[in-house]
Structure 1
Amino acid sequence: MDLREQEYVVALARHQSITKAAEELYISQPTLSIFLNRLEERMGVPLFDRVGKRLVPTCAGALYVRSAREMLAIQNEFRGELNDMIQGSAGRLRLGLHLRRSRYLLPKVLTEFERSYPQVEVTVAETSSRDMEQRLLDGDLDLILTNRFFQRDKLDVIPIYNDHLVAAIPPEHPACAQARELPGHRYLWLDLKLLAEERFILQAPEQSVRIFTDAAFTYAGIKPRRCFIIENMETAVQMAAEGYGVAFNYESYVRYFDYEKPVRFFLVGFADFTVPISVAFRKGGYLPEFIQTFIRLLETHFN
């Protein structure tokens, strides 16, 4: 299968720029411009409107891009099955995950994976859950790792790890002495009612951690009176260490992050509430053996 034409058009639609698409495709800008002009002449209809420096798909272009993505997804599955038939040791893995997880996952997992599959090309997209899921469905990614799904009916999902929400406060905070131990949990549990008068350092409403934080407030029966909003979760925890307020994070994150000042972490909300971290791929899609191995390495690393 040679779907270079489809790859070019999909790249143009994704970047809406000949320059950026050419960089991704490792071809020159003039070459890509000539390709697009000839393709539109051959089809007899423009695929993109030129809006300033942006390329915006026309109705015909959107139809082409949708079909091209499906064709590329089929091609990728074909290559995976063919590689497994031949030797199972070569191919391509396009992974989507959150920027914060790449720091503690990729160095060890990729290094170990390469020992077994040195001929597999791995590329990584560090982006939001919504974006990586759409890119997976569009055929731009093969596998994603996330704790949040928006079109689950279109995905096959494999649970990897059950995460927990934790609150961060300074070690000298009086509430630390009132935390209690829960069997089977790494961290002590703390009732958020004890912190009701504090400033809460929260993430933006669209971030997944904020959704689980709001659920913890509801469980505790409190409504924050003073809030400070910041997207960066590591910065929020360091602010908590300085005594600025109460921050929140995931247990899987705080294991691997270093903070300038000491900080204590406590489970909050419903004690047995978990945040499932899972890998997902297109429903019914074929997973080559090397991707199955990669999933097993992720699971081993988490657990």
Structure 2
Amino acid sequence: MDFKELDYLITLADEKNISRAAEKLFMAQSSLSHFIRQLESELGTTLFIRTPRGIIPTASGEQFLVHARNMLQEFHIAKNELCELNHLVKGTIQFGISTYRGVYLLPDILRRFHTQYPGISVSITEKTSRQLEYEILNGNLDMALLSLPFTVLKEEDIILRRADEVKLICSPDHPILKIAEKDPKSGIVGIPLSAIGNYTFVFSPPDMALGYTARKLFHDYNIHPIAYPTELSPLLATAVVRSENALAFSSAALSHLAPELIYLPLLPGKHNIELGIVFSQKGATSKACQIFGKYFVE
């Protein structure tokens, strides 16, 4: 059994569906099914139970998966250590980030990183911060950019930090612009949080950083806005704000992707989403990961 086949096994367990796993691995479903049967025959035990909804690891399968993940993790650690002996000429970073942050952070960071380290490839896993926490815990990733607060990791696990300012977005003709005011302490012109309660607001799901932040701010300030009928991802919320008379929260760093919208600070004070770079056990020993992480806080 080689390391590629270990990856097959772990992908099957993660996807819980042969068809999805085969698609992710860029191989035929029949070939993957044959691999499972062959491995189970070789081991003399059943690793997965087939159900109408997919596949579930058996007790034997769960035990074998622990060893498979550990072996693959040790292989990646050894591979990266050898690559770093060659002055970062070759190597791979398994990196996790949410779609929303990847859209506005990765293009510039990847361009600069690959210019300096062309032999280091970055394999990107795109999931929510909550999902990525488990990927880090399971050793499936070297590192990830996560939003706080964490659900399973601890803040002391954070290696590097950055903050993204949260702003209110609206169309140029939205009536809320008429009540913009200057903060007497900072002199910044923005929108009082209390005013948002009179307008339709597009929420993101609570397991996303902007969705969590919106609910916390409204709870803390006892604000009850008119909720848009459905929860949307931050990118789709931006699209709705473009076309309808609605408000949403967005990152200030995303303003270049929707320059036709108005990005306004929230008053009083300044409101940020705290982000942290977190390493897994294998990522923590990687010089390439440490260098890549610094690009997010420059």
Structure 1 residue 70 displacement after superposition: 2.2
Equivalent position SS for 2:275 = strand
Percent of aligned pairs with the same amino acid:
23
Counterpart for residue 195 of structure 1: 196
* Cα distance in structure 1, aligned partners of 2:105 and 2:7: 29
Structure 1 residue 175 displacement after superposition: 4.7
Counterpart for residue 159 of structure 1: 160
Counterpart for residue 288 of structure 2: 290
Structure 1 residue 257 displacement after superposition: 1.6
Equivalent position SS for 1:298 = coil
* Cα distance in structure 2, aligned partners of 1:54 and 1:238: 35
- Counterpart of 2:201, as a letter, is F
TM-score (norm 1): 0.83
Counterpart for residue 62 of structure 2: 62
* Cα distance in structure 1, aligned partners of 2:31 and 2:233: 41
Matches within 5 A, 1:84-233: 84-148=84-148, 149-153=150-154, 156-172=157-173, 173=175, 175-181=177-183, 188-233=189-234
* Cα distance in structure 1, aligned partners of 2:224 and 2:58: 47
* Cα distance in structure 2, aligned partners of 1:285 and 1:17: 28
Deviations along 1:212-247, whole A, 9 cap, x unmatched? 112222343322355443313244344445562322
- Counterpart of 2:295, as a letter, is L
- Counterpart of 1:66, as a letter, is V
Does the 8 Å contact 1:143/1:280 carry over to 2?
yes
Does the 8 Å contact 1:216/1:268 carry over to 2?
no
Deviations along 1:177-214, whole A, 9 cap, x unmatched? 442147779x6332122232222222223322122112
Matches within 5 A, 1:37-56: 37-52=37-52, 54-56=54-56
1:268 aligns with 2:266: yes
* Cα distance in structure 2, aligned partners of 1:285 and 1:155: 16
- Counterpart of 1:196, as a letter, is G
Deviations along 1:261-284, whole A, 9 cap, x unmatched? x43222226524421122111257
Does the 8 Å contact 1:182/1:188 carry over to 2?
no
- Counterpart of 1:274, as a letter, is N
Matches within 5 A, 1:239-258: 239-242=240-243, 244-253=245-254, 255-258=255-258
- Counterpart of 2:289, as a letter, is I
- Counterpart of 2:284, as a letter, is Y
* Cα distance in structure 2, aligned partners of 1:161 and 1:182: 27
* Cα distance in structure 1, aligned partners of 2:154 and 2:176: 46
Does the 8 Å contact 1:95/1:122 carry over to 2?
yes
TM-score (norm 2): 0.84
CA root-mean-square deviation? 3.0
* Cα distance in structure 1, aligned partners of 2:98 and 2:3: 29
Q: 1:59 to 1:241 in 2, by over 3 A?
A: same
Q: 1:3 to 1:233 in 2, by over 3 A?
A: closer
* Cα distance in structure 2, aligned partners of 1:20 and 1:235: 25
Q: 1:45 to 1:242 in 2, by over 3 A?
A: closer
* Cα distance in structure 2, aligned partners of 1:282 and 1:81: 15
Deviations along 1:126-182, whole A, 9 cap, x unmatched? 221122222222222211112132222398313342112212234442554442147
Q: Identify unmatched segments of 5+ residues in structure 2.
A: none
Matches within 5 A, 1:30-41: 30-41=30-41
Counterpart for residue 278 of structure 2: 280
Does the 8 Å contact 2:143/2:283 carry over to 1?
no
Structure 1 residue 21 displacement after superposition: 3.6
- Counterpart of 1:97, as a letter, is I
Does the 8 Å contact 1:168/1:241 carry over to 2?
no
